[in-house]
Amino acid sequence: MQLRPWIRETGASNLAAMLRHRLHFGAYKTPRFRLGQRVEDLRRGTVRIVGLSDGRIQWPIGYGPGGRSLVLYRGLARAVRRESAASVQHWFGVGPAAVNKWRRALDVPRWNEGDLRLKVANGRCDGRT
């Protein structure tokens, strides 16, 4: 997984993006950690924290099996389970492949509650799907 820097949006496009990628189930805060600390990643097992991402919600980067990527634990795991895939991508600064890997690891269905809320808000379904 490649961590990509996000581009700060301005003006009306920023408001539209915030509404389109709204987080419905909580405020996700960067967890407290120390560089070098070992934590349990729910997908990769034990990893060593080596840095901090530059997404809108900054998150610890772990080094372990498979290289460097965001550590799937605490608030990020909650967000992956409940929020829409687009919102997780937007706020944590990752791509769709990362979110798909995390969802498979956590046995999250393709359409979770956050995805359905996003579809209803954008008028693409009636909420019964």
- Domain boundaries defined on the chain: 32-121
Q: In whole angstroms, how far apart are CA 124 and each of 18, 48, 116, 120, 121?
A: 18, 41, 9, 6, 8
Per-residue confidence (pLDDT) for residue 12, from 0 to 100? 54
DSSP letters for the chain: ----PPPPP-HHHHHHHHHHT---S----PPP--TT-EEEETTTEEEEEEEE--SSS--EEEEETTEEEE---HHHHHHHHHS-HHHHHHHHT--HHHHHHHHHHTT--SS-HHHHHHHHHTTS--S--
- Give the pLDDT of the chain (129 residues) as one tens digit per residue: 445 444 444 455 666 666 677 888 888 999 999 999 999 999 999 999 999 999 999 999 999 999 999 999 999 999 999 999 999 999 999 999 999 999 999 999 999 999 888 888 777 666 555
Contacts of 98 (CB under 8 A, 6+ apart): 1, 69, 70, 89
